[in-house]
Amino acid sequence: MDVNSPLFGPVVVSILLGIAVLCIFTAVWRFAPRRDPMDERLAEYGLTDYVKGTDKKPTKAERPKERFAGLAKLLNSLGMGPKVAEKLSRADIPLTVAEFVMIQVAIGGVLFALGFMQLNLYVGLVAGTMGFFLPGFYLNMQQGKLRSGYTNQLPDVLTLLVGSLRAGYGLSQALELVAREVSPPANREFSRVQRAMSLGVSLQRALDEMAARVDSDDLDLVVTAINIQYEMGGNLANVLETISETIRDRIRI
């Protein structure tokens, strides 16, 4: 762009303003107080009140401060917060909803400034819009990639579970063995199940939450079989072996 162009001054001001805003957001993200990591882990399994020994909700003064709390409140009021949080959990991305949205805004702003500076306003708007939605595309791709990984590993996981149960292990011990022996990404989810159980969450609830995170029909079938076995009894090893063979045949076909 020509220095003598009448648009040169506004473009420079826009770029400097964008950089300033990005620096402010970065500073707030870096230095703003966060929740205690232990509270975050307990809240993930719904055990904060259980550990503190009370069901009373904390007052505003007692409530821990969070990064971008105002933005998080706005997203929750619009109904976007829970949906994005669920996608982040399924994609195994350790970000809060507000942090993820701030990344979207930052990428969109940078691409808008580049498009506007190099070409024109319309190109900047298109580039900024694409930049804003780019992290969402990555989130969906990562979620689908992990879901496929879980599905492909599930027959091997079931084979290990069946062998452990027939060797005399209890179900909790068999799940611990799976978390220790299988490769990612399945081991991460079963490790989360083990951590939840160690914090006092029931096995059925921990498995239900894992199935909700993974969002796989095959895993839903496995979890349902385990829950029915807990309620009605029966030979769980045979049921899991049948499910494993069914999944293998379906994948092979």
The whole-number pLDDT of residue 146 equals 87
CB 240 within 8 A of CB 162: yes
Q: What is the pLDDT, as a whole number, of residue 17?
A: 56
Mean pLDDT of the chain: 77
User: Does residue 102 surpass a pLDDT of 70?
Assistant: yes
Residue 145 pLDDT greater than 50, yes or no: yes
Res 42 pLDDT > 80: no
Q: For residue 33, what pLDDT is reported?
A: 46
pLDDT band at 12 (very low <50, low <70, confident <90, very high): low
How does residue 29 score in pLDDT terms, banded at 50, 70 and 90? Answer: low
Task: Decide if 25 contacts 103 (C-beta within 8 A).
Answer: no
- pTM for the whole thing? 0.64
Average pLDDT over residues 210-225: 88
Does 50 have pLDDT greater than 80? no
**For 150-159, how does the pLDDT look when each residue is reduced to its tens digit (9 = 90+)?**
888 898 899 9
Residue 51: both structure tokens together: 């550990």
Single out the residue of 89, 69, 70 nearest to residue 214, CA to CA.
89
What is the per-residue pLDDT across 165-208, written as a single tens digit (0 to 9) for each? 999 888 888 989 988 888 888 888 888 898 888 888 888 899 99
| Rounded average pLDDT over 126-147 | 89
Angle at 61 between CA 58 and CA 67, to 5 degrees: 95
Q: Under 8 Å CB-to-CB from 158, ≥6 apart: which residues?
A: 222, 240, 241, 243, 244, 247
